[in-house]
Amino acid sequence: MPSPFPGMDPWLELPGVFPDLHSSLIYLIREAINAQLPDGYVATTTQLVWVDPELQREPDVAAYGPDFRPEGDIAGEPFAAEGMVAVAAEAIAEPWDEPYLEILSDEGDRLVTAVEILSLSNKKAGDNGRVSYQQKQNEFRLGNVNLVEIDLLRGGTHATAIPLTRLRQVASRFDYHVCVTVIGDPTRYEVKPFLLTDRLPTVVIPLDPGVRPVKVELQPLLDRAYDTGLYARLARYTTKHPDPPLAAEQQAWAAAILTEKGVIRA
């Protein structure tokens, strides 16, 4: 079943849904880019990695099993007998990673363009994921690498390269936006702000100077991700509310669409 909404679905911004959507869109965008790239270029996925001591992952049940217990007592008496003192260990802070796209040239030796979909952690003030993202963002901009940033999250702290004040000069009202920084001028931005009620835009992906950029239509990719990810089941339109909440006008608009599509009852 396709998404009931014409553009971005606000229920897909939920913390339990968006990380999977983020990953799905990255791979679908890579597929769309590689289908158009001229000879000498290739789009690949890579990972932004950071460590957050406040976040703990669940153990790998597939490797150990939910009821795994080591046989025998490897702690306690043998160590105490040698005068060793037991001290409680702190929880291990595991690295976290998020995929993004790189377009490479010269047989993979040169990074031409980075394509990012902003994540929940990228927009969370004080989060290590945000700090790591901003560091990588600056490296791209100062290293003559094109940077394409796609923000499909209404909530959180502004995180794309364009300052929020300058973005608001372009559009006083927007829910989402795309920001492109092009090689050679890190202080100039190509931006596309859009509303919840709009279809997702076509994104221009720049390559090297003098090389025609490729274009990616985001809406068909979101529609495909929605279907293959079974997001209609995860969204739970009848029992969950969007996060962040919709404004009154948006809520009325969303309710009318969900009623018309038969997702909820009037």
Angle (nearest 5°) at CA 189 between 183 and 194: 135
Q: Which residues of the chain have pLDDT under 50?
A: 48-70, 91-96
Check residue 216 and give its pLDDT.
98
Phi-psi region of 201 (alpha: psi -120 to 50; beta: other; left: phi over 0): beta
Q: Which amino acid is at 220?
A: P
Q: Which amino acid is at 261?
A: K
Q: Which amino acid is at 139?
A: E
Tally of structural domains, the chain: 1
152: helix, strand or coil:
coil
With respect to residue 266, please indicate whether it lies within any of the assigned structural domains: no
Place of tokens 């802070």: 93
Supply the Cα-derived Rg of the chain in whole angstroms: 22
Check residue 106 and give its pLDDT.
77
Strand 146-151 to strand 110-117: parallel, antiparallel, or no bridges (unpaired)? parallel
Letter string b/e over residues 107-143, b meaning 16 or more CB atoms within 10 A of that residue's CB: eeeebbbbbbbbbbbbbbeebbbbebbeebbeebbee
Q: Which residues pair with 216 in a beta bridge?
A: 203
Query: Which segments of the chain does DSSP mark as H helices, in order?
Result: 18-34, 61-64, 77-80, 128-142, 164-170, 218-228, 231-235, 248-260
Within 10 A of 188 (CB to CB), how many other CB atoms are there?
10
With respect to residue 118, please indicate whether it lies within any of the assigned structural domains: yes
User: Maximum Cα–Cα distance for the chain, whole Å?
Assistant: 74
Query: 143 with 108: CB under 8 angstroms?
Result: no
Measured distance CA(154)–CA(177) in Å, rounded:
10
With respect to residue 86, please indicate whether it lies within any of the assigned structural domains: yes
Check residue 184 and give its pLDDT.
81
Q: At what angle do helices 18-34 and 218-228 cross, to 10 degrees?
A: 130
Instruction: Give me the sign of the Cα torsion angle 108, 159, 15, 4.
Output: negative
Residue 76 belongs to what domain range?
A: 10-260
With respect to residue 1, please indicate whether it lies within any of the assigned structural domains: no
* Residues written for the chain: 266
Angle (nearest 5°) at CA 202 between 198 and 205: 145
DSSP-derived secondary structure letter, 245: P
256: helix, strand or coil:
helix
With respect to residue 161, please indicate whether it lies within any of the assigned structural domains: yes
With respect to residue 58, please indicate whether it lies within any of the assigned structural domains: yes
Residue 227 CA: distances (Å) to CA of 21, 160, 222, 224: 11, 28, 9, 5
Task: Report the first-to-last Cα separation within the chain, whole angstroms.
Answer: 20
Measured distance CA(237)–CA(97) in Å, rounded:
29
